[in-house]
Every structure is written in C-alpha cells, then in structure tokens.
C-alpha cells in the first residue's frame, strides 16, 4: 500500500473513532452494567456498540480489509490488509469513572503497521498518523522531545506485573534511579505524552497488540522508536513495549536485555 492510499483509510479510521466516541460518551454520562468475560476482564455495552459502529464505517470504506476487534474477533484474512480495533481500551478505568480510556484503531498491511488513530474523548484529545505522514494531535504536528541522556529523562511505566518477577526487574530499578523522574501514566496517556514530548521513555510488560498498535504508528511518526522489550518490531503476538526517544530507547534496550 503506497502512502497516498493511506489518506482515505486514515479519514475512515478518524470517522470511525469519532463514531465510537459518541457511543462511549453516551454511556459515560448515563452509566452501564458491567459483565465479566471468560478471562475475568470487564466488558460493557459501550465496548460492543462502539466496535459495531467502527466496523460499519471501516468495512464500507475498505471492504477488502479484514478486521480484528477486541469484542468480536477476526473477520476475514489477517494476512493482507488488517484493521486492528480496540473500541474501548481501558474498560476498567471506564467502569470506575476514571477518564483514562480510549479508542484504538490501526491498519496493518502484510504485517507492517501503517496507520493509527488514538481517540480519548473524555480526556479531550485525538492523535493520528500514517506511514510517512507524521504524527498529529488535534490537527497540530506532534514530535518527541530532544532528550539525550537518562539523567534528563522522564520514564513512565504501565502494566509491568510480569516484569516484577523477571530477571530485568533490577535493571529497571537501576534505570529508574538514573532517570530524572518516574511516572505511571499508563494506557494511551503515556504514549500520547511521549509522542508530543511530555515523557521520554515508556515501559510495559503486559499488553495486547490491540492496545498499542495505533500508538506505535503515532510514536514512530513523531520521531520515536517503538519495539517490544526485546527490541523486536510489533506483531500480532506482541506482549510488551519499550518506546522512547531514539537515544534513550537504545540505552534502555541495552540495559534491559536478558
């Protein structure tokens, strides 16, 4: 897929995210009942209706693409064009009345992430990017910070439960001690901050590709580096993240390698 072909796809993804935002805000205002999935994670009618709204728009705009969604699974062949959709990433926050949740829509072409939209309607911002087109925050160009040393760095951690039992836990502790400050913004928030220069390094050990696919494109197009904790490019099986400004990503990767 050439870059010009991504422009209408990005328009469709932004339209789909806006439609999902309407659904999510409706239920945010009125409240919802909470169900538990088989893995004991919560789900609501907002999750399901938002995904249906997204699917309707994406299918019409790009009928040749498959869709893999958090709530309704895979529809189509995942080997070609593949939409990756998490209609309400952060349902646990949503049901606890905490505004750190978002809609994540990404497009993968033959295994490469080429487009991403991250919409956080209650938080009040939307970011988007496509390959070669830069990263954007509500219409303004986004760029990672020029931070060059760990002593200047702001590090944010998210889901790191498994990392606490990992051999790299002590290395992470040393990394934090050498940094300027440590935060735990989590979810979409620290990736938005990274892409717009607010933090310099993000570390997570327990993620799903649907949580971070769109954010990976955004951070990359903002000038950052986005891999897993082993330094590998993202795939459908990715479960960890190391994202940051280039010099700090390189240093953190070397220090965290097993």
151-187 pLDDT, tens digit per residue, is 999 999 999 999 999 999 999 999 999 999 999 998 9
Q: Which domain holds residue 162?
A: 150-256
Is pLDDT of 3 > 80?
Answer: no
Question: What is the percent of the chain where pLDDT is above 70?
Answer: 98
Question: CA-to-CA distance for 82 and 75, rounded, in angstroms?
Answer: 9
Q: Using the predicted structure, report yes or no on whether residue 19 has a pLDDT greater than 70.
A: yes
Q: State pLDDT tens for residues 37-86.
A: 888 888 999 999 999 999 999 999 999 999 999 999 999 988 889 999 99
Q: Are residues 123 and 35 in the same domain?
A: yes
Same-domain check for residues 120 and 188: no
54/154 same-domain check? no
Work out the mean pLDDT of the chain and round it to a whole number: 95
Q: Which string of DSSP letters, residue by residue, matches 184-228?
A: ---HHHHHHHHHTTS-SEEEESS--HHHHHHHHHHHHHTT-EEE-
Do 34 and 84 belong together in one domain? yes
Cα distance between residue 214 and residue 114, in whole Å: 9
pTM, to two decimals: 0.96
What is the domain-level CATH number for residue 48?
A: 3.30.540.10
Whether residue 196 lies inside any domain: the answer is: yes
Domain count, the chain: 2
pLDDT at 183: 95
Q: Is residue 140 part of a domain?
A: no
7 and 129 part of one domain: yes
- Domain assignment of residue 139, yes or no: no
Structural domain includes residue 141: no
Count how many Cα atoms sit within 13 Å of the Cα of residue 254 in the half-sphere of its side chain: 6
User: Would you state the pLDDT for residue 41?
Assistant: 87
* 53/163 same-domain check: no
* C-alpha to C-alpha distance for 143 and 127, rounded to whole angstroms: 12
Residue 122 domain-assigned (yes or no): yes
Q: How does residue 29 score in pLDDT terms, banded at 50, 70 and 90?
A: very high
Are both 189 and 248 inside the same structural domain? yes
Tell me the three state secondary structure of residue 177: helix
Q: Report how far residue 28's alpha carbon sits from residue 30's, in angstroms, rounded to the nearest whole number.
A: 6
Q: Are residues 117 and 225 in the same domain?
A: no
The reply to whether 187 and 120 lie within a common domain is: no
Statement: residue 4 has pLDDT above 80: no
Q: Is 174 within the bounds of a domain?
A: yes
- Give all strands of the β-sheet with 201-204 in edge-to-edge order: 181-183, 154-157, 201-204, 241-244, 225-227
By 3-state DSSP, what share of the chain in percent is helix, strand and coil, each rounded to 5? 40, 25, 35
Do 126 and 177 fall into the same domain? no
Give the domain CATH number at 155. Answer: 3.40.190.80
């Amino acid at each position: 897929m050439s870059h010009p072909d991504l422009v209408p796809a990005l328009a469709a993804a932004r339209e789909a995210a806006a439609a999902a935002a309407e659904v999510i805000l409706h239920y945010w205002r009125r409240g919802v009942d909470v169900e538990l999935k088989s893995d004991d994670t919560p789900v609501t009618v907002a999750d399901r209706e938002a995904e249906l709204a997204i699917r309707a728009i994406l299918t019409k705009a790009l009928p040749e693409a498959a869709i893999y969604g958090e709530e309704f699974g895979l529809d189509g062949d995942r080997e070609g064009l593949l939409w990756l959709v998490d209609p309400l990433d952060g349902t646990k926050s949503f049901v606890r009345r905490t505004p750190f949740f978002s809609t994540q829509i990404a497009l993968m072409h033959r295994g490469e992430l080429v487009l991403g939209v991250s919409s956080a309607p209650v938080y009040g911002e939307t970011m988007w990017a496509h390959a070669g087109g830069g990263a954007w925050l509500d219409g303004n160009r986004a760029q990672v910070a020029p931070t060059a040393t760990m002593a200047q760095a702001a590090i944010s951690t998210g889901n790191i439960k498994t990392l606490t039992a990992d051999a790299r836990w002590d290395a992470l502790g040393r990394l934090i001690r050498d940094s300027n400050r440590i935060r735990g913004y989590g979810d979409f928030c620290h990736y938005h901050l990274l892409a717009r220069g607010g933090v310099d390094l993000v570390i997570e050990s327990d993620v799903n590709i649907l949580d971070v696919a769109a954010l990976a494109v955004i951070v990359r197009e903002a000038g950052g580096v986005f891999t897993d904790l082993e330094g590998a490019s993202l795939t459908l099986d990715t479960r960890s993240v190391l994202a940051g400004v280039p010099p700090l990503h390189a240093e953190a990767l070397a220090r965290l390698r097993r």
